[in-house]
Amino acid sequence: MPDNNKTFFERLNAWIRNSITLKLVSIGILILLLLIPAFMIEDLIRNREYTSSDAIEEVSSKWGEAQTISGPVLAVPYKKYYKKDKDIVEVIEYAHFLPDELKISGKVDPEYRHRGIFEVVVYTSKLHIEGKFSQPSFSGWPVDTNLILWKDAFVYTGISDMRGINENIALNWSAGQVNDHLLFNPGTGIKPSTSYDESGSGNMISETGVSTRVNLGTPDDTGKLFQFSFELSLNGSKKLFFSPLGKETNVTLESPWPDPGFDGAFLPDERTVSEKGFSAKWKVLHLNRNYPQQWLGTEYRISESTFGVNLLVPVDHYQKSTRAAKYAVLIITLTFLVFFFVEILNKQRIHPFQYILVGLAICIFYTLLISISEHLSFNLAYFISGVAVIAAITAYSLSMFTSKLPTILLGLIMVAIYGFIFIIIQLQDYALLTGSIGLFLVLLVVMYISRKINWYSAAE
């Protein structure tokens, strides 16, 4: 029937069926609509990741949280008097003395725990701590020497999570020919400050820890050195940090964990990392931190100088799934682009509903990936999910296309797309570079294929 004999609605219907512009607009709208389930999938991944984090926190709270070791510190109490109204009030203050030498060496053994389907990494550490203190001196401080309680002096060590202590801790304390074997007791021994001025000396090292009284002998012997050592068996999770309280602090750690993250205020001077584990050595001087070797009644931010190691879990399946989901719009767009070119080059009409089904199949790939990766490795889950979705879309396209060649090309292109996305997910430092080059090559291919298409008469 000639166009001039067609009704308006017949001409409109023909334009809708044959308009390339309208087809492109409708495909763009479909892609935008499919972003809704794509965003819902990212939200699902976050929820599963939060559930995993809750499981990790639950196990860590019972096994031992991230640990920070601060000490040992020598504390000497003294009396101080304040005038309150018409009364004279006596309070106990503390002078804190840090060791001249502090050496820490040990091994960190990671372990796996499970809470339901979730895997949690914790560790057990065996630490040997030794060093020496000089005879404490109050010279230069406005403290009456007659009010110093030398017999009540004690050593305390800060431990951030006391639940992680596995065994009793015994301090070997020696000065010359005198050797003492002293058991640590819970608590730092520092009582809350009751000063009536702003210089009350509370415990600024750690709120939790262990302490024991020590014998300082005759305080007039200024050249005396006190050597100490003790073993510390400690459970923890995520990280193990130390405070560099020695005038010279040396820390040596080794572990079979292959993915350490050295963090904090100082990086190790020497480190070796391999598939069999890591070893690291730190050396920190008192000049490298912003607090002195001894003080009383002054706050210092000891936590700002801590350093140590994180037992990093390599990019887990939730992080990889999130990265994969961010490419959902790219996969949908490229797949729709293939269908669109089949329509143009083979004069094959594809209904928008068929586009929607293909887009939903691509979205379901991510739910399969998340659920399977919680039970199998991410790589295997990606392979199973990818094969399932590619097979489903390829089989479905076979019923739409009049020729097998476009179906085979579609399957190969989807394999290339999912393979390319998998490579990008595995890369970290070069993911952006690889992705940019890949997209540029895709654009060149599209430009090459479409170079001779007359878009104004393509539908004819």
Summarised one tens digit per residue, pLDDT across range 54-67 is: 777 777 777 888 89
Contact 363, 37 (CB under 8 A): yes
**41 and 172 share a domain?**
no
pTM: 0.71
Strand partners, 109: 124
User: Is residue 57 in some structural domain?
Assistant: no
Number of domains present in the structure of the chain: 2
**181 and 307 share a domain?**
yes
Contact 101, 246 (CB under 8 A): yes
- Helix, strand, coil % in the chain, rounded to nearest 5: 40, 30, 30
**329 and 299 share a domain?**
no
Query: Hey, what amino acid is at 24?
Result: L
So what's the pLDDT on residue 193?
56
User: Is residue 333 in some structural domain?
Assistant: yes
Length of the chain: 460
**259 and 130 share a domain?**
yes
Bridge-based pairing of strands 170-175 and 178-183 is antiparallel
* Interacting residues of 248 by C-beta distance below 8 A, sequence separation 6+: 100, 101, 102, 283, 284, 285, 286
Instruction: Determine the structural domain holding residue 33 and report its residue range.
Output: 20-51+318-449
Please choose, from the candidates 81, 79, 82, the residue with its C-alpha nearest in 3D space to the C-alpha of residue 93: 79
Q: In the structure, what pLDDT confidence band is assigned to residue 200 with cuts at 50, 70 and 90?
A: very low
Last residue of a domain, one of 296, 314, 332: 314
**269 and 296 share a domain?**
yes
So what's the pLDDT on residue 352?
78
Please choose, from the candidates 283, 301, 353, 318, the residue with its C-alpha nearest in 3D space to the C-alpha of residue 425: 318
**250 and 373 share a domain?**
no
Q: In the structure, what pLDDT confidence band is assigned to residue 159 with cuts at 50, 70 and 90?
A: very high
As a whole number of angstroms, the distance between CA 405 and CA 370 comes to 33
So what's the pLDDT on residue 13?
57
85, pLDDT greater than 70: yes
Strand partners, 114: 119
Contact 48, 374 (CB under 8 A): yes
Highest mean pLDDT among 250-264, 284-298, 343-357: 250-264
Last residue of a domain, one of 314, 337, 355: 314
pLDDT above 90 as % of the chain: 25
**182 and 86 share a domain?**
yes
Is the backbone of residue 11 left (phi > 0), alpha (psi -120 to 50) or beta? alpha
For 333-385, the pLDDT digits (tens) are 888 888 877 777 766 777 778 888 888 888 888 888 888 887 888 889 889 99
Average pLDDT value for the chain: 82
Contact 104, 128 (CB under 8 A): yes
| pLDDT (mean) for 135-155 | 87
Q: How many helices (H) and strands (E) does the chain have?
A: 8, 17
As a whole number of angstroms, the distance between CA 118 and CA 237 comes to 15
Last residue of a domain, one of 253, 284, 314: 314
24, pLDDT greater than 80: no
**295 and 327 share a domain?**
no
168, pLDDT greater than 50: yes
Q: Higher confidence at residue 455 or residue 127?
A: 127
* Interacting residues of 379 by C-beta distance below 8 A, sequence separation 6+: none
